[in-house]
Amino acid sequence: MARKEDSPRPRGKSTRAIHAALDKTIHGEVSIPIFESSTFSFPSAEEGAERFSGAKPGYLYTRMGNPTVNALEQTVNQLENGFAGIATASGMAATTSVYLSLLGQNEHIVESEVVYGPSRIVLETHLSRFGVHSTFVDTSDLRKTEAAQRENTRLVFIETPSNPTLSITDIKGTAEIAHRHGALLVVDNTMAGPYLQRPLDHGADIVIHSLTKYLNGHSDVIGGMIVSASQEIYKRIRKTVNLFGGVMDPLQAWLILRGVRTLGVRMERSQENAMRLAEFLKDHPKVAWVRYPGTADHPQHEIARKQMDGFGAMISFGVVNGLRGGMTFLNGLQLITRAVSLGGIESLIEHPASMTHAAIPLEERARVGISDELIRFSVGCEDFEDLREDLDQALSKIN
């Protein structure tokens, strides 16, 4: 159904997730077609030149834009209330494209000290080779973000909730600091997703996603997205992505579009499971501690309440007997799947210190709270009772 431009109020987020890609249809299709075409013909030589100069709209070549990929860009952009989206081959392609677009030699970035491991490693070991300077701080403390600003700071990059410690950073407060120092704020919104958190509404300039997670939701595709708040930022990043070439292909976009349509129901269901399981784990004698933004003892619970529509479906916890207890527990699970990644319809569980965050040196992991005993649990949409029973029987194996 075509969008009603004169609609008196913005559509709700579930409606947008379902309908945004189908604003314009060709034959009344209800699922977007997969445009598997690497290039697009021009009706005349003059029109080709006009499309290349930007004087006329129209597709040119799939690295620079494709209707199926564009439908996904439009959908995520509408969910994030942005100016425009740029789809990328993976979440890491989104992150590195933002770095490469907005950082140069002798320029500086302030980043959350706890982020998905590779987002940090790529700055420390690769962008550093090109003269980019980085400082990693606990951005859940705004005073630390403020103190880390330098005259050449161009970007502040936060991940909230953070992977895997689930720390929450105040987006509005961080945006004010970044802007006062002439820097842009980038938020990696992968761990919450736009159904629960829309950073641009709180003053961020750019949102990035690993679409591999909640937006796709079925653990079958890799993808990324960059949503910009303004045309100027969008144009700078679009140029870089087109030139460096880390773009998404149409089949990838179509699969993710199919996943996005159920975003609302998946988020509601997995979040409800997570809230109940966090309570269950807290009371379990074999569990040493639990971190979930929705419980009142989470150190930034009040900020989460202010800037999120819900507390999400990720839980971090430690079991008794440290690493050995954790390994016994993980090996004892029969339903919950031992695998990295998150945000799928199925529950996934992993051990960050030896898996997703293993490339960060031990002392640094310990300093920032990625302890050897931390277990990261991405709660899925299964029946609560089955998840509870599986956790319970695996925990009972720890001695």
- As annotated, the active-site residues are 63, 116, 188, 213
Which range in 12-20, 86-94, 233-241, 359-367 contacts ligand LCS by CB under 6 A?
A: 86-94
Cβ 180 to ligand LCS shortest distance, Å:
26
- Ranges within 97-116 binding ligand LCS (CB under 6 A): 116
Distances (CA, A) of 100 to 152, 198, 248: 16, 24, 18
Cβ 224 to ligand LCS shortest distance, Å:
6
Q: Is 295 exposed, middle or buried (0-12, 13-18, 19+ CB in 10 A)?
A: middle
Per-residue x/- mask for ligand LCS, residues 228 to 257, rule CB under 6 A? Answer: ------------------------------
Bridge partners, residue 184, by sequence: 155
Candidates 2, 49, 147, 340: give the one binding ligand LCS (CB under 6 A): 340
For ligand LCS, which is the closer residue by CB, 149 or 189?
189
What letter represents residue 178's amino acid? Answer: A
For ligand LCS, which is the closer residue by CB, 199 or 224?
224
For ligand LCS, which is the closer residue by CB, 23 or 346?
346
Is 91 an interacting residue with respect to ligand LCS (CB under 6 A)? Answer: yes
Which range in 2-10, 85-93, 305-313, 330-338 contacts ligand LCS by CB under 6 A?
A: 85-93
Residue nearest to ligand LCS (CB): 91
Cβ 1 to ligand LCS shortest distance, Å:
31
Q: Smallest Cα–Cα separation from 94: which of 108, 106, 107, 80?
A: 80
For ligand LCS, which is the closer residue by CB, 79 or 92?
92
Candidates 14, 230, 341, 371: give the one binding ligand LCS (CB under 6 A): 341
Cβ 223 to ligand LCS shortest distance, Å:
6
Which range in 5-13, 89-97, 308-316, 391-399 contacts ligand LCS by CB under 6 A?
A: 89-97
Candidates 102, 342, 360, 394: give the one binding ligand LCS (CB under 6 A): 342
Cβ 85 to ligand LCS shortest distance, Å:
15
Per-residue x/- mask for ligand LCS, residues 210 to 229, rule CB under 6 A? Answer: x-x---------x-x-----
- Ranges within 130-169 binding ligand LCS (CB under 6 A): 159, 163
Q: Smallest Cα–Cα separation from 277: which of 251, 311, 302?
A: 311
Per-residue x/- mask for ligand LCS, residues 289 to 328, rule CB under 6 A? Answer: ----------------------------------------
Q: 215: which residues sit within 8 A by CB, 6+ positions away?
A: 76, 193, 194, 209, 225, 256, 259, 260, 263, 343
3-state DSSP of the chain: CCCCCCCCCCCCHHHHHHHHHHCCCCCCCCCCCCCCCCECCCCCHHHHHHHHHCCCCCCCEHHHCCHHHHHHHHHHHHHHCCCEEEEECCHHHHHHHHHHHHCCCCCEEEEECCCCHHHHHHHHHCHHHHCCEEEEECCCCHHHHHHCCCCCEEEEEEECCCCCCCCCCCHHHHHHHHHHCCCEEEEECCCCCCCCCCHHHHCCCEEEEECCCCCCCCCCCCCEEEEECCHHHHHHHHHHHHHHCCECCHHHHHHHHHHHCCHHHHHHHHHHHHHHHHHHHHCCCCEEEEECCCCCCCCCHHHHHHHCCCCCCEEEEEECCHHHHHHHHHHHCCCCEECCCCCCCCCEEECHHHCCCCCCCHHHHHHHCCCCCCEEEECCCCCHHHHHHHHHHHHCCCC
Per-residue x/- mask for ligand LCS, residues 162 to 201, rule CB under 6 A? Answer: -x------------------------x-xx----------
Candidates 293, 310, 356, 398: give the one binding ligand LCS (CB under 6 A): 356
Which range in 25-33, 84-92, 178-186, 280-288 contacts ligand LCS by CB under 6 A?
A: 84-92
For ligand LCS, which is the closer residue by CB, 60 or 339?
339
For ligand LCS, which is the closer residue by CB, 92 or 102?
92
Query: Using an 8 Å Cβ cutoff, are 237 and 86 in contact?
Result: yes
Q: Interface with ligand LCS by CB under 6 A: which residues?
A: 90-92, 95, 116, 119, 159, 163, 188, 190-191, 210, 212, 222, 224, 340-342, 356
